[in-house]
Amino acid sequence: MSFIITLIALGFIIFIHELGHLLAAKKAKVGVTEFAVGMGPKVASFHFKGTMYSLRALPFGGFIKAKGMEDLEPCPVEEDYREKSILSRASILIAGSFMNVLFGYLMFVFIFFFVGQYQLLPVIQGVSDGSPAQEQGLSVGDEILRINNQSVVNVQEDIIDVIQASNGESITLDILTGGEQIQVTLSPKKNDTGVPLIGVSFQSTPQPVGVGSALQLGLKKTAQVIGQSFKGLGLIATGKANVKELAGPVGIVQMASSQVNRSFVSFLSILAFISISLGIINLLPLPVLDGGHLLFLLIEAFRGKPLSSRLQTAIHNVAAACLIALMVFIVFNDIISWNDRSLIMETKQ
């Protein structure tokens, strides 16, 4: 059941993306022959102001057919996408990703307003195997009172940031364990991305926030996800990302569905993350993606005329072939990494 819920939710994210294209196309007065909800065979449809709105059999995703773009049949000049200004065409292309980012932002605002902001407590919730913390005997329930003789007021600033800024040099922790205070010295170890860690997670508790704070926190969280997306793309581009850490369609469904069983809030959080990330990825200047179309518009702006349709088609065909090969590899990687990813998600829960 969790897989079905996840597939429908991910389909809704795609639907939101296509809805953005539709609204922008309508605003630019580009003709849209069809806007479909779902995929597969058509179940029902109706026409409104020149557009057929259809419901498809599979409740996953959706699509639009814009005149002069996906629909290349002859059409009036005033409705032809290709005849619109570069700015108008760019707005149509960007609108899908904008809607994805906006949807993710609204999900974060919803979570902050109705659940609150989780505040980390200086109490250890988990200890990683083989970590510096485990080697020094730290355990679940221990409370960190001081770090380098400085009292802990804010876990993020006073503990996490200090550890990450240590560059692996020794730090001293004053611990309350079993009603007794002890002092331990340990050296953080750098993870695969070079961040020093001691191998612990912390307990947290929700704190209620108002509407204004929820809007601000949602914006901050959205900015963090965008930053993480670019950082992840950078790791992939430089070859620093582990192949097993990459997730394609199967991996995304696996991770999202695991959150359904965990909690509704966790599920909404990962959907917001996926929506924003997909919005950012779709703007990459790669043919087939919206970002690739934006790149062609940029070239057109500098040349004063577009690339020939034959050249654009050839580029798209090559890119599509590469994308299909990449997707086959990613899906295969998702399948062979299923058990490893399951173990990782279990340890995080």
Which residues are marked as active site? 18
3 state SS of 282 = coil
Sign for the CA dihedral angle at 146, 148, 154, 159 comes to negative
Residue type, 93: L
Closest Cα to residue 142, out of 196, 199, 182? 182
Q: Which two tokens stand for residue 232?
A: 């992840």
Closest Cα to residue 327, out of 273, 294, 289? 289
Specify which residues 146 forms β-bridges with: 151, 174
Residue type, 251: G
Q: Which two tokens stand for residue 127?
A: 């200890």
Length of the chain equals: 349
Those residues whose C-beta lies under 8 Å from the C-beta of residue 182, and which sit 6 or more positions away, are 174, 175
| Rounded Cα distance, 319 and 315, in Å | 6
| Rounded Cα distance, 33 and 94, in Å | 20
Taking the CA atoms of residue 307, residue 310, residue 312 and residue 318 in that order, the dihedral angle to the nearest 10 degrees is -150
Asked if 51 contacts 33 with a C-beta cutoff of 8 angstroms, the reply is yes
3 state SS of 341 = helix
| Rounded Cα distance, 230 and 202, in Å | 26
Asked if 307 contacts 42 with a C-beta cutoff of 8 angstroms, the reply is no
